[in-house]
Chains A and B, each alone.
Chain A
Amino acid sequence: MTTATAPPPAVAIKKRNEFLYFALRNNKLRVGLIVVLLFLFLALIGPLLTDYPPNDYVGPPGAPPSSEFWFGTTTFGQDVFTQFILGLRATFLVGVVGGGLGTLIGVLVGFVAGYRGGIVDELLNMLTNIVLVIPSLAVLLIIAAYLEVRGVLAESVFIGFTSWPWAARAIRAQTFSLRSRDFVDLARISGMGSMKIIFGEIAPNMMSYLFMTFILQFGGAILTAATLDFIGLGPTQGTSLGLMMNNALLWSALHLGMWWWFVPPGVAITAIVGAMYIMNVGLDEVFNPKLREM
């Protein structure tokens, strides 16, 4: 926030930096952001820290965490830390692509349904409810099982295509309320086309809302991906946090007391998704004062 020398204090803070004023002071937002950035940073610089390929047998089997193997090794002697780092990268990829795609489709469906109204709204709404009711995991299982070779990207796309109803419902309600505002009518009698109105007038108002929807989709995509990987329908080559947990369970890491094999992946997922939710609540407080006044 450019701290121009503030003119007499009585000048009402303009709408835009009032948001920044609150955002920087909201501790829920700060905590969430720090956690996410930490893991992102770890994911980015991770590969530089380890020189072991994830699946090679590089150390003694079942070794507890040590200076050599920070997260210890699996029953086969694979380095858990390397797997963890690559798994982290896969998780962020799924979050961004899956969450992003889910938000994108949700936004499109939500905007068109909210703005057009009438029959179009009714049909799109029905489609949304149908996709919502069908347990998305069932569909994912079928698709994932069908594909012989599965990459993380393919998995993210599937998740994106089945997780959009949540976003669509929220965006539709928001567009509906904005559409009835007079400035939309004013735009129409200024000769503006509906596409220009949607993206020029309505969308900017919802930037905050779109961002919050993306955060929820991001978290949801990560959780769904972890569940899919855990059941064994995750990416066939490469590794992911869900796959790590699956292998840990498969090779009875519990009985052998090898906690270092299954604890880190879970912590990472819970921390990232949890931080996302907390950030979302923080943003919610910033955008509507009612929650802030608690």
Chain B
Amino acid sequence: MRRYFGRKLFIYLLTFFLAVTIDWLIPRFMPGDPVQTMLSRASMRAESVEAMTGFYTRAFGLDLPVWQQYLSFWRALFHGDLGVSIFLFPTPVTEVIMNAVPYDIFLLLPAILLSWYTGNKFGAYAARSQYLDNTLLPVGYILTATPYMWLGILLAWALGIVAGIFPISGGYSYALEPSWSWPFIASLLRHWFLPFLSLFMVMFGGWAIGMRNMIIYELEADYSHYLEALGAPRSLVRRYAFRNAILPQITGLALQLGVIVAGALATEIVFSYPGIGYLILQAIQNQDFFLLQGCFLFIIIGVLLANFIIDIVYILVDPRTRSGMQGATA
């Protein structure tokens, strides 16, 4: 068992190292010089631009030899200092991201978990009969084929503008100050609902289809036939089949994380929902490479962490892997 975790950890660390290295390359590869873009916005006289460039270059440590920058980057990383955002100068990148992350978690976590659960239940239900399979499941195919942002736009247009029920931009109404008062939370929820709904629906389709195929194979498995031969009721056979079919969906969840993050970015942009996605868009538009670098770091850490947790959950839930590792008897 220990060896298995050791190996898994090794792979994740290696992945993390690789990802961070790629991440470090962002500012170095971006076209244009970050300092110039910042200064050009400050519209100062020529010579002061001269002086400022020197100051900022040193501030961002761009003058050091490359490998030294790389090492200092790692050192800074462990102190949680991801440099200073150009676009929102002087606020440090970490702080900028920190107040975006709660929105992301508040949006992604419920969307993923709820869609995962209901999608699997729906997929299992749809696999019950040929009729259900032909009517309900195509809905699943269409949903999972829908680009996240397009569904977002449609919902914004239909429920937001035409019906006018929900606000379609921002994390909360600008008139309110962030506080724990009920009106603020209510506004928070109303702004949260449309992005959540669009993410939920697209992911829901994906899980339903995955479960439909899984459960058909489990219903055809030997243990199902044995239970049926011994007269076990359909409900018991289906319960066992569902339990076994949902296990691979757990690893499916881990593998889908990368795709889901991409989808979330697009949806946040549609609703200008103040999560990391929207932050990334602003960073790109303003060529704020340090902010971009920070955002990706958070995404990569988030995805790796989630994958590791899901791996652990899978081992706890599926007895086959546990005994497989210790080598079953004989």
Place the interface of chain B in its size category: 35 or more
The answer to whether B258 touches A136 (Cβ under 8 A) is yes
Closest to B154 in A: A266
Closest to B149 in A: A230
Minimum Cβ distance to chain B for residue A130 (Å): 5
Given A232-B281, A254-B160, A270-B150: A277 and B19 within 8 A (CB)?
Answer: no
Given A137-B261, A142-B29, A274-B145: A130 and B269 within 8 A (CB)?
Answer: no
Given A138-B299, A142-B25: A133 and B284 within 8 A (CB)?
Answer: no
Binds A, one of B171-179, B241-249, B300-308, B320-328: B300-308
B141-169: CB near A (< 8 Å → 1, else 0) gives 11011111111011011001110000010
Residues of B within 8 A of A137 (CB): 258, 261-262, 265
Q: Say whether B11 faces chain A, with CB atoms less than 8 Å apart.
A: yes
Residues of B within 8 A of A132 (CB): 255, 258
Kindly state the separation between the CA atoms of A259 and B144 in the bound complex, as whole angstroms. 22
A-B contact count (CB 8 A): 161
Q: Say whether B316 faces chain A, with CB atoms less than 8 Å apart.
A: no
The answer to whether B266 touches A230 (Cβ under 8 A) is yes
B80-115: CB near A (< 8 Å → 1, else 0) gives 000000000000000000000000000000000000
A82-109: CB near B (< 8 Å → 1, else 0) gives 0000000000000000000000000000
The answer to whether A129 touches B11 (Cβ under 8 A) is yes
Question: Which listed residue (B127, B138, B162, B257) contacts A135, Cβ 8 A?
Answer: B257
The answer to whether A133 touches B307 (Cβ under 8 A) is yes
Q: Say whether B18 faces chain A, with CB atoms less than 8 Å apart.
A: yes
Q: Say whether A231 faces chain B, with CB atoms less than 8 Å apart.
A: yes
Q: Say whether B49 faces chain A, with CB atoms less than 8 Å apart.
A: no
Kindly state the separation between the CA atoms of A142 and B144 in the bound complex, as whole angstroms. 26
Q: Say whether A286 faces chain B, with CB atoms less than 8 Å apart.
A: no
The answer to whether A290 touches B220 (Cβ under 8 A) is yes
Kindly state the separation between the CA atoms of A142 and B258 in the bound complex, as whole angstroms. 15
Kindly state the separation between the CA atoms of A262 and B261 in the bound complex, as whole angstroms. 23
Interface residues of A in 102-148 (CB under 8 A from B): 126, 129-130, 132-139, 141-142, 145-146, 148
- Most chain A beta-carbon contacts within 10 A, residue among B150, B156, B281: B150
Kindly state the separation between the CA atoms of A277 and B138 in the bound complex, as whole angstroms. 9
The answer to whether A284 touches B213 (Cβ under 8 A) is yes
Closest to A140 in B: B262
Minimum Cβ distance to chain A for residue B117 (Å): 22
Closest to B29 in A: A146
Q: Say whether A80 faces chain B, with CB atoms less than 8 Å apart.
A: no
Q: Say whether B217 faces chain A, with CB atoms less than 8 Å apart.
A: yes
Minimum Cβ distance to chain A for residue B10 (Å): 9
B-side binding surface: helix, strand, loop or mixed? helix
Residues of A within 8 A of B263 (CB): 227
Kindly state the separation between the CA atoms of A148 and B142 in the bound complex, as whole angstroms. 35
Q: Say whether A223 faces chain B, with CB atoms less than 8 Å apart.
A: yes
B1-35: CB near A (< 8 Å → 1, else 0) gives 00000000001101100110011011001110000
Residues of B within 8 A of A266 (CB): 146-147, 150-151, 153-154
Kindly state the separation between the CA atoms of A277 and B157 in the bound complex, as whole angstroms. 27
B208-225: CB near A (< 8 Å → 1, else 0) gives 010001001100100000
The answer to whether A248 touches B153 (Cβ under 8 A) is yes
Q: Say whether A154 faces chain B, with CB atoms less than 8 Å apart.
A: no
Given A227-B262, A270-B145: A265 and B150 within 8 A (CB)?
Answer: yes
Kindly state the separation between the CA atoms of A196 and B156 in the bound complex, as whole angstroms. 56
The answer to whether B217 touches A133 (Cβ under 8 A) is no
* Number of residues on chain A facing chain B (CB within 8 A): 51
Given A249-B270, A255-B161, A294-B133: A135 and B220 within 8 A (CB)?
Answer: no
Kindly state the separation between the CA atoms of A248 and B157 in the bound complex, as whole angstroms. 12
Kindly state the separation between the CA atoms of A141 and B283 in the bound complex, as whole angstroms. 12
Closest to A135 in B: B258
Kindly state the separation between the CA atoms of A249 and B307 in the bound complex, as whole angstroms. 33
Question: Which listed residue (B127, B129, B150, B285) contacts A245, Cβ 8 A?
Answer: B150
Minimum Cβ distance to chain A for residue B109 (Å): 17
The answer to whether B217 touches A290 (Cβ under 8 A) is yes
Q: Say whether A269 faces chain B, with CB atoms less than 8 Å apart.
A: yes
The answer to whether A219 touches B216 (Cβ under 8 A) is no
Given A245-B150, A284-B213: A145 and B284 within 8 A (CB)?
Answer: yes
Residues of A within 8 A of B138 (CB): 278
Q: Say whether B203 faces chain A, with CB atoms less than 8 Å apart.
A: no
Given A137-B261, A227-B148: A249 and B153 within 8 A (CB)?
Answer: yes
Q: Say whether A202 faces chain B, with CB atoms less than 8 Å apart.
A: no
Kindly state the separation between the CA atoms of A272 and B161 in the bound complex, as whole angstroms. 28
Minimum Cβ distance to chain B for residue A154 (Å): 15
Residues of A within 8 A of B25 (CB): 142
Residues of A within 8 A of B296 (CB): 138, 141-142
Q: Say whether A217 faces chain B, with CB atoms less than 8 Å apart.
A: no
Interface residues of A, Cβ cutoff 8 Å to B: 126, 129-130, 132-139, 141-142, 145-146, 148, 219, 223-224, 226-227, 230-233, 242, 245, 248-249, 254-255, 257, 259, 262-263, 265-266, 269-274, 276-278, 281, 284, 290-291, 294
* 27 pairs from A and B in contact (CB 8 Å cutoff): A126-B11, A132-B258, A133-B12, A134-B300, A141-B280, A141-B284, A142-B25, A142-B26, A142-B29, A223-B145, A226-B147, A227-B148, A231-B266, A232-B285, A245-B147, A245-B149, A245-B153, A248-B153, A257-B162, A262-B150, A266-B147, A269-B150, A270-B147, A274-B144, A274-B146, A290-B217, A291-B213
Interface residues of B, Cβ cutoff 8 Å to A: 11-12, 14-15, 18-19, 22-23, 25-26, 29-31, 127, 129-130, 133, 138, 141-142, 144-151, 153-154, 156-157, 160-162, 168, 209, 213, 216-217, 220, 255, 257-259, 261-263, 265-266, 269-270, 280-281, 284-285, 292, 296, 299-300, 303-304, 307
